[in-house]
Amino acid sequence: MELKITVLRDEFIEIEVLKEDPAILDSLAEILQNIEGVEYAGYMIEHPLTMKLILRVKTNPAKITAREALQKALNELLNISNVLLEKVYQI
């Protein structure tokens, strides 16, 4: 995975991700969308041959900054994957 933050403002973050499965960013976007104060979270595949992915997060800065939302979402996603791994070991 190669990653670069192209836009970084209080209310908006844009991240370029290379060499990664889009389903990973899809998971992150879905978690972000469920966070209070996030106005938009989504990703796009710039071109299917280059597989460059662009993740964009827009928030209402009065409620939460984009940076905080991203951190919160990543922590939540990591928690879920830890729980998931435990459950898979149990079954």
Partner 1 sequence: MVDLKIVEEDEKSLKVEIRDLHLSIANAIRRLAISEVPTMAVEEILIIENTSAMPNEVLAHRISLIPFISDIDRYVQPEECTCGSKLGCDRCVVRYVLRAEAKDEPITVYSRDLIPEDPNTIVKPVSPNIPIIKLAPKQRIEMELYVRVGTGKKHAKWQASIATLYDKDGEPGKKILFIESIGFLPPRRILLEAVKIFKKKIEELKEKIMGELGG
Residues that bind partner 1 in the complex, under the rule CB under 8 A: 1, 3-5, 8, 15, 20-21, 23-24, 26-31, 67, 70-71, 74-75, 77-78, 80-85, 87-91
One-letter amino acid of 12: F
Which residue's CB is nearer to partner 1, number 63 or number 74? 74
Nearest to 67 by CA among 6, 4, 8: 8
Q: What's the closest the beta carbon of residue 62 comes to partner 1, in angstroms?
A: 21
Nearest-5° angle of CA 7, CA 5, CA 65?
A: 60
Q: What's the closest the beta carbon of residue 36 comes to partner 1, in angstroms?
A: 17
Q: What's the closest the beta carbon of residue 66 comes to partner 1, in angstroms?
A: 10
Which residue's CB is nearer to partner 1, number 47 or number 87? 87
Nearest to 59 by CA among 85, 81, 82, 41: 41
